[in-house]
Each structure stands twice: as structure tokens, then as C-alpha cells.
Amino acid sequence: MKVSVIIPIYNEEKVISECLESLSKQTYKDLEIILVDDGSSDKTLNILSNFQFSIPIRSESIFPPKARLAKGGNFQFFKQNHKGPGEARNLGAKHAIGKILVFVDSDMTFDSEFVNMLVEPIIGGRAKGTFSKEEYVKNNQNQWSVCWGINEGWEKGRRHPKNYPDHQKVFRAILKSEFERVGGFMPIGYTDDWTLSEKLGYEAIAAKGARFYHENPGTLSEVYKQAKWIGKRKYKLGKIGTLIAAVRSSFPVSLLFGITKSILNISPAFFVFKVTYDLGIFVGALSVLIGGKSAK
């Protein structure tokens, strides 16, 4: 089956080249790559315009005609105003020609067998959608990245807790027919990648051997920005849930948990991380309470 890899991008100048280089080395050959720029304002588009692609470019785009070509595969590029990753993924899926859709982020890199192992249960008829538990932290030597993992309760060096189940809501790969059947993602912000499972009524199953690497925020500025976006998410209890999130991330509570976890993990840096992270959550949640809109 042809596979379409869809990547939403938004201000990814630091990571997009490495992601694309990694995808170009996949052993699965019947592959197309679809990039959807979600209104980037940094140098992302300049970097892409000079990137030497090793697969044919199929759509009109910013890319020069001298882009290096090779046999097999193809590439598509689309742009939209900033609407969030859910909308970007939906746009990419709309134009995908693959029977299987693979959703990845631009700060990921992949083992050469990643796509092959990820889609194998689908091709074999054992699943309609998959994910991988073999998700490792790419910047695992960075202290703020380590703190992010501690805060999430993940196994050291990975982006899942120990004994993670063999199913989850976030799909990395899914049959396009199933995706289209429910109309794709609901663009609700941070948790929009959970909405596909909720609409389908089932979860993705784990694909063995699909190893990949994902960056955690590596600076306090990135920690704050990511947390602020998370804080703007839609909560199950609506504004009551947002209010609870604001209270839980308020400075007195943050101070208590920051000191406690810093001691338990023997990590003075975690205190600084926790205060910064919770400030982002608090500001994000407060902006929703005041303005009434979740993040894109």
C-alpha cells in the first residue's frame, strides 16, 4: 500500500531538515511526504526552499525546479494561515494519495525501518491504526528535557511511562478510509490528536519495532511556550476544568510541588522548571477564562 506521511510545520527552522533527512532514509519505498506549513513566521520556508529533496515534487510550491529527483515516491507542500496542527493534518490528508496515513511531527527523527514497522500491522490486516511505544527522547542530555520527562512521569529517556499499554488514543498510522469515514481531527488545540480515536470509537494498537526520537522542550523559553499552549487546551469540564488547571498551576501550589519533586528526584533544576512550566499553564488557562478561546 502507498503510505502518505503528513507533517504539520509551524516555525520549525531548527529541526525540519533533520526530520526530512531521516524520512528520506526509510526502507519503505512506496512513500509520499506531505508538508503543511501552518503560517510559519521564522526561516522555516527559506530552509525548505533550499533543501535538496531526493523525491519528486508533485505539487506547485515554493521549491525550486532544480530540486534533486530520484525514482519512487513523491512530495507535496501546502500552506495555510495559522489554524493549528489538527487543521494542518486534515489538509494534508485531503490531498494524500496513500491508502495509509502516517502522522509525525517536525521535531521527530526515525530509524530507517520506522514506517515499515509502523504500517506492517495495518497491511497485515491486524489493525486499522497503530502507534509506537518505542518513542525515545532525542535531546535526553538536556536538563530541561530531562525535567520535562520527570514532570510527565515518563520512563527515563523515553516518552512513555513504564509498562505503557499496547493501545492509546493518539494514532501514528491509520487507514485513510477510516480517517475519512469520521471526518478527520477536530481542531481543538493541544488535544486535537485524541479526537480521532474518540470519533472512531477505538484506539491505536502498538506496532513493534517502529523506533523514533522526539524532542522535549530544551530551553526555559520553549518550556513556557509549550506549557502556555497546553494550558489553553479544552478540558473535559469546560471552564470549570480550565479553572481547576489555573488553581493547580498557581504559584503557591507550584512552589510546593516544585520543591517536593526537586528533592525526590535530586534535581535542583526541576524547581526552576516546575515554576516556569506552571506559569505557562496558568497564563494559558487564564487567557481562556478571560478570552474564551482555546489555543490553535
Task: Report the pLDDT value the prediction gives residue 53, as an integer from 0 to 100.
Answer: 58
Domain at 3-214: CATH code: 3.90.550.10
Task: Report the pLDDT value the prediction gives residue 52, as an integer from 0 to 100.
Answer: 63
Q: What are the residue boundaries of the structural domains of the chain, listed by start?
A: 3-214, 220-291
* Whole-prediction pTM: 0.88
Task: Report the pLDDT value the prediction gives residue 73, as an integer from 0 to 100.
Answer: 42
pLDDT tens string, the chain, 296 residues long: the values are 899 999 999 999 999 999 999 998 999 989 999 999 999 999 998 888 777 655 554 544 544 443 333 333 478 889 899 999 999 999 999 999 999 999 999 999 999 999 999 999 999 999 999 999 999 999 999 999 999 999 999 999 999 999 999 999 999 999 999 999 999 999 888 888 899 999 999 999 999 999 999 999 999 999 999 999 999 988 888 889 999 999 999 999 999 999 999 999 889 999 999 999 999 999 999 999 998 665 55
Cα 113 from Cα 91, distance rounded (Å) = 26
Residue 209, all three cell numbers: 519495532
Single-letter code of the amino acid located at 95: H
Q: Please, what is the Cα angle at 191 between 187 and 194, to 5 degrees?
A: 90
CB burial of residue 236 (10 Å; 0-12, 13-18, 19+) = exposed
Cα 122 from Cα 4, distance rounded (Å) = 14
